[in-house]
Amino acid sequence: MRQHVHAEWTKLRTLAGTGWLLLALVTLTVTVSVAAAAVVSCTSAGCGYDPARISLFGIQAGQAVVAILAVLAISGEFSTGMIRTTLAAMPGRISVLAAKAVILTGLTLAAGSVAVLASALAGRRILLDNGFAPELPALTSGPMLRAAFGSVLYLALITLFSLGIATAVRDSATAISVVLGLLYLFPAIILVVPDADVAKLLWQISPMNAGLAIQATTHLSNLPLSPWAGLGVLAAWATAALLGGGLLLRARDV
């Protein structure tokens, strides 16, 4: 397994776009989070906003970069035929996929941690200036730590989810469309569904809505799922995608 991980690390770090995509993840996440915090204010009478969600709002944009990185990490090999060379040198197909998952998860956790920390610090400073002082939890408080740590885990699960989808469909454009469609289409559909029970069910199975429940620090009783249960839904999506992708990788003659 060590050889597989070393080989995948060598391939990924030598790709021209890897560094730029990781930089884009941090930059986009922080920029969108700062913009979200800047446009929200709170009066002395209080407000109904969740400061953690606002400070970490950029995760909703940064996840697209994570998805693209994970998709390109394997679909590029399918498009160029390099996957045949990879599997000839390392016949254990599941081990190859597992090595890619390990490397991509590690990179996402590292870059995601930087993005989340910078977003939380910048967002807190802006929200304090916008009147959130009475409602703003400390960065070291339990709910805020859970929101921040959970956001990093959320990005890692998006990586695994995207890798599984890309392994299954093999085409970059198709895989990116499927992943982004599943992430962003559910929330749009929920907004136009007239039946409250159906809308709640869609929320509960939505990878993005359920997964980002981990960021909630206020009004938890109003959520259709608890924060950790919501992240568990995304974990189920990621597991299913990886299992499906792995089985198809084994079954196909590439």
**Exposed (0-12), middle (13-18) or buried (19+): which is 107, by Cβ within 10 Å?**
buried
The model's pLDDT over 133-157, given as tens digits with 9 standing for 90+, comes to 766 777 778 889 999 999 999 999 9
The model's pLDDT over 77-131, given as tens digits with 9 standing for 90+, comes to 777 777 777 777 777 788 889 989 999 999 999 999 999 999 999 988 888 888 7
> pLDDT confidence of 56, banded at 50, 70, 90?
very high
pLDDT at 12: 75
If one counts every other C-beta atom within 10 angstroms of the C-beta of residue 55, the result is 32
Query: What mean pLDDT value characterizes the chain?
Result: 89
Strand partners, 46: 43
> pLDDT confidence of 46, banded at 50, 70, 90?
low
d(CA 171, CA 165): 10
